[in-house]
Structure 1
């Protein structure tokens, strides 16, 4: 596994994405969907309603039995990467911010989607607006997506879902929406966004980005913390670590439960752990749940 600081230090997002996905794919077998495709997989007995185009006539002539040729079918979908670029994503742990991590994670997922033949788009939530790059499949589009990510900075607030509802109502087909966020919200705006997207019956994955120092309350000697979006400062004493840990655990459990209630996949991504390890952990959880 590649150390997170080594990946985040790579300025070329295309290179960083390839290295991350190479690590993620190491040891993972390609999954396939059985259907009418190009590469033969197996035979099965004919069932009423099967498409006769996939009937093996030569095998019928030899055996006088009806068999359907099943193949491995490559599926192509539209993937939208939704990136929270509000000011809270400017939180720093060591040399890197959550925005740095989100930028590299989005690049890796875009590379993976593109390599599978999927159309991929980028939607950045910042300063109460959405900055869209609609999904496309060509290599030039992927280069534009990387360029947009490289210039991405964290500013303002996420904004409310009602402000950009029209962007997600225009598509009739189901899509895969991947939301990269630290889940910081002042008045339930992320919850409303997830409810909106879930109501449209898209498949949704939330990658919840948190820094190691906020998970362990490692303040580096500072006695107070600042809300990056409001400027509010709160004193923190060493005696409050247990209470902080308890509240953090309760909050994480609540975030996960809200996603589960909306039938949204959830994965915590720690900045102090290898990115490919987090992706592999998510894949294993899906496989364990029988979703892959």
Structure 2
């Protein structure tokens, strides 16, 4: 499986559904469900009876053997809705090698959606475009998963990130608590993405951010280039990479640490993903985060 999880090989597979299946196969299943102790079908453990417990949960066979009252507990699997959030601004078209950041976001989202569907979670989608937010309600069935794959394939990044004036649409979405997974390069001009994240957390949602950067923009290693254009504003600048690389890398390091701290302070999970990294690592991080939702 390790070779199949190489991003370049994954991107060569045109069908999102096939690549997602190949990514998820072999991963540990069942971790992304929250286990709640209570009455159910699958036995979990015994505990001593306490005043107020439902007498129907008493195990009379244990009482006959021990002359003590025990409650028989089971595990109930509780699933929550998962919604993929995709940054569709022009900067996501930045390319390093054979693929762009939006390519990586597509395959990452498809793999996470496939995994969620496998575990029985309801799945939905938000696409953040300059003109507004495309929304696909969360549902749990394979046909709906196919709709998500289709919509991911249709994303064409352009313009700037959605402005806060459109965030009011989020309040008209699901009233239930959701796990929201944002895939973005965090390119913003007026902290609009942080405003979005504050809005989402204020609605009581659990939020994860996968921060997507390419290797060349992380290290300022654009071989043969001296003129750089901002994909969103159209502005260009000429620089000598060799002269500014060291300072650039230090500023990038400081920026990433500040970003990570600000998101963690908001109670938001953050992980930097460089687009030449295997997708399965993002899945493992996702599963680790889901275990924190266990009650």
* TM-score in terms of structure 2 length: 0.90
SS at match of 2:190: coil
Shift of 1:146: 0.7
Q: Does the 8 Å CA contact 1:41/1:72 hold for their aligned counterparts?
A: yes
Corresponding residue for residue 236 of structure 2: 233
Matched residue, 2:35 = 33
Assess, with a 3 A threshold, how the Cα gap between structure 1 residues 168 and 30 changes in structure 2: closer, same or farther: closer
* Residue aligning to 2:78: 75
Q: Which region of structure 1 is more displaced relative to structure 2, 14-23 or 231-240? A: 14-23
In the alignment, does 2:277 pair up with 1:273?
Answer: yes
Partners of 1:115 and 1:286 in 2: how far apart?
15
- Structure 1 stretches of at least 4 aligned residues deviating more than 6 Å after TM superposition: 28-31
Query: In the aligned structure 2, how far is the partner of 1:183 from the partner of 1:4?
Result: 21
Whether 1:190 aligns to 2:193 is yes
Aligned residues: CA RMSD: 2.2
Note if 1:250 corresponds to 2:245: no
TM-aligned CA distance change 1:30 to 1:195, over 3 Å: closer
Q: 1:281 to 1:77 in 2, by over 3 A?
A: closer
| TM superposition shift of 1:217 | 1.2
1:61-108 Cα shifts (integer Å, max 9, x gaps):
443322222223211111111111111100001110000000001101
Deviations 1:251-271 (A, max 9, x none): 111111111111001111111
How many Å separate the matches in 1 of 2:217 and 2:85? 23
Q: TM-score, normalised by structure 1?
A: 0.91
**Gaps spanning 5+ residues in structure 2: where?**
none
CA distance in 1, matches of 2:68, 2:133: 57
Q: What pairs with 1:1-292 in structure 2 (closer than 5 Å)?
A: 1=2, 2-25=5-28, 33-36=35-38, 37-237=40-240, 238-281=242-285, 283-284=287-288
**Structure 1, gaps ≥5 residues long:** none
Equivalents in 2 of 1:164, 1:291: separation in Å?
A: 26
CA distance in 1, matches of 2:285, 2:82: 20
- The 2-side partners of 1:113 and 1:30 are apart by 8
Q: Cα–Cα, structure 1 residues 267 and 48, in superposed 2: closer, same or farther, change >3 Å? A: farther
Any conservation in 2 of the 1:78–1:119 contact (CA below 8 Å)?
Answer: yes
Contact 2:182 2:209 in 1 (8 A): yes
Other structure's SS at 1:25 match: coil
Cα 1:177–1:281 shift into 2, 3 Å? closer
